[in-house]
Structure 1
Amino acid sequence: MNARLERKLRVIVIIAAAGSFAGAVFAATHGLPLLPGVVTGLLISSILGGFEILIFDGPVRAWLNDRSFTASLLIKSTFYATVILTVQWFPIVEWILGRRPMLGIDTFWSSLLYSVVVSIIVNLALAITNLVGGRALLNFFTGRYHAPVEEERFVLFVDIAGSTGLAEKFGSLGIHRFLDRTFRELSLPVVDHRGEVLAYVGDEMIVTWTKREGAKDSRPLRCFMAMRDELAQKSGYFEREFGVAPRIRGSLHFGPVIIGEIGDVKRAIVFNGDVMNTTSRLEALSRDIDGGFVASRAAIAQFKSPLPVAMRDLGRLPIRGRMDGIDAMGLEETAQRITAA
């Protein structure tokens, strides 16, 4: 299944499940029949989940992204409250179940207030998940990296080419808007290729995959090529908005990474180890390599399926911190994108 569609369906299922559970809890605590409560919660949450995916994460996604966290939360919560009021004011659930309306006026208002509060909590949870990252939030809850562990990971560094000159041209606020919009567009291929955005560092984006997930269909390499395709498709927008379209360079490496929670006032899950340092240094080398991309042979060797793009052997490149250098590969200058099977 398409990863972007899978993500949307997962959000709808989570919202629907939360709504059904909340409806059951309200019915049980107010001495009401369980079925109407569950159906009411399911109906409201399904409508809201559909709007969340089809509208809020669709046509108005860019507009909402330009709003602050609080403004976006208020806009969506206001819409949620309107939907809830409509569903509960009219006896829609009773019509569906073929029952007479059972809510008294006092129960109606308590049900309405309860539903609005639950919807705001769910909306807030979705907003926080988007802010922190779904996988990172799940890992915090499960405590997966509470004690540091070693995992084999693919690490992809993506750098915005010429960002220093662009910063001088746009100024501090302008370059931030430019990078923000660029990273928003680059995030879509990451979702499509089931990667995880680890961090944004200045003009760099760091993406990672586990060994099992990354080795499938050469996902990290396909992701980088898809990023370039995405920016090429949006070049007209960037030209109109900023007067220049972004270009990216990248580097890819594979190996053992130490992952663990760190910090106190602001807790975070961080990646450490030679792989991170080496990938960063490969990215620096990509600036002088035709094609603007360098991958370690160790990373390419993990891919069992045909590569999505033609690559050439760069030999052993000298790299700071490694006396023996590193065997690397780059993109063919005339490489054509190979369609995934």
Structure 2
Amino acid sequence: LHTSIAFAQLEECPSDGISYLPHPDCTRYIICVNGEATDAECPRPLYYNPRTEHCEFPENVPECVGGTRPPVFNGTTTELTSTTSETHPPTEEPTLEPSTTETPPPNTLTECGQTIQTDSGYIQYKLNQNYSAGELCAFIIRLDRYTGCDFTLEETGVFNSSSDTITVFRISEQEQALPLVKLDRHSPIAYFLYSTFAVVFKTTSNAGTGFRLRFESRNTLSTKIPGTMLVYNNQTSTPLRFPLNPNGGSEWDAIIITSGAKLITNPESTLQLMVYDFFVNPDCNSWFNVHSFDGTTAKFEGRVCGLNKKALAFNTKGLFIVLFYKSSISTEDYLGSIEWFETTTNITSQN
């Protein structure tokens, strides 16, 4: 079992299925997927509520004081109290210099690998800060109730849009080729149908600063297949098994995989994805779709759905977008798995 440390208590990730654990920082929580722990963050200014397993306004999470969750001992939340009656004279508050960093608005993603489910919000990455060459920073957005989304690049310090790009992908259940658009100061607006999107910031220079991208739905109600959005920027220690929720019905998951949120520049190295095909019925009612993006070109690598009955290897210098779909008629609790790692082995991608 993999563990996450929450003050004095070690909380274990269950080895099967999906679960959510509280984090000492009330704005964060732990997503456990088949024993693998991934750190996630609530949209600002929300706190994670372990009673409802949702991000909520701070007044609904009264145990969080100043954004910190109190220690947990033997399943009981312990309030922190002073053990002495010593008093001290009031301390003069320091004079703060004005901050040069703009506070992000609510529902804002600010770090590589974050995901969000909401109908409007922002991605604000290194705004007014210099970025580094070789970044490959991915985010996933899933609209909560609606379908159809407007994207507006409100601010950008990216001047060389040929080398440093902001790419928005539309992700849907059935499409093999993922429609995409690149946003820059000359073309800052785009609209996409459907409700799940990946945003990827790729840099090959360090001659600029970050950006703020606003997204907003058009308030068209939509029914969605339940699923999970995850971004992994590290190597997997054990294969990730699907379906992620073995006791559920239909499932649709979007997984992005990178090598440390960076492009691989070593000519002898690649990010390798292994897909293990254990689909019982080779009728492709349930499947994996594998896409790669090297920062410039997006490629549909192939669909895995019971026709191979073996492990398939895919390679990229950039990232993978893996989509898993489980049909409601599939009753198996194991259909396949994936694992990934950076390798120097020269293996030709499967198609």
TM-score (norm 2): 0.28
More helix by share: 1
TM-score (norm 1): 0.28
More strand by share: 2
